[in-house]
Structure 1
């Protein structure tokens, strides 16, 4: 018979659960994190064609965690310290499923890292990594020591994930302005020629009604 231990926790409110979409600025990039299916706009967007190139890969659980963690590392530009701590958070979350909070002390993290492929972490690595994960909104502090809220859009135990990189080509402002001026001049020329043709038609027909564009014979 197992003795269950109940802990009365006052963790507070998970800040990540109140936002449907989270926008994180990282240097010159904008990272959009969302759990909805609205993340990818298919087809035509703002009258521009979008090319969708999708690479699909099926892997086992352990490989899934490694690939997922490496993608998060790249997208969030995590340092080695933050990546190691994130990997620990991710493994623990596979055990304590369906919870948006995790207990992770420095001692537990060091012990847990012994069983992972990544090198063991130290106390300084742990605290640097946790701070960076908080700054980049992957985890958040709770009201209790060593308890952390997780961002369910980033730390999750689902069976499928999709990372989308959208590359937008910058437009040359000078060429755009020239193009706009050229179009304006062209429109004016077309309108001028059309007006000249109409006037010529009035002179030639004599009885043309220019307001109704009807011929009177």
Structure 2
């Protein structure tokens, strides 16, 4: 298949399905071992004795190494990839930015990254990734959307929430009334 066999997209075509499938899980962690500056202490005003303290800040250690998460539920997407697609996928992971569903794809840079001699190998790999729905074409030749159900750099739940908020904040049709506008206000007397 050729790149031109795949349609261009103004928005990420994978997001609607991601909204349905990405479900948040709540986990709670207690804050421990914070230093003295992160505590509020309660004192007895008469004796000056410390009655107790409350901690507000939690220190978290993070791994600063660049990473991308691959999701096992969609791992079968990779089974049909050819060798060039695997290398191109490596380049795309290298180009990913945290919390973004878009990648800027630069063919010359990809050639250098993959050590390929011909841009044809790059485009063959891209076509394979498109066919397996791991990526989708963007609005121009340098933009590709990633499938966040397959891989993502960051927290997909917060990404999906942000997408929903942006979607809800779009201006509505001024010719259409909201249900709440049609209901007259009432008062309790």
TM bin, normalised by shorter chain, reads 0.3 to 0.5
Q: Which has the higher contact order (CA 8 A, sep 6+)?
A: 2
TM-score, scaled to structure 1: 0.41
- Which of these two proteins has the greater Rg computed from alpha carbons? 1
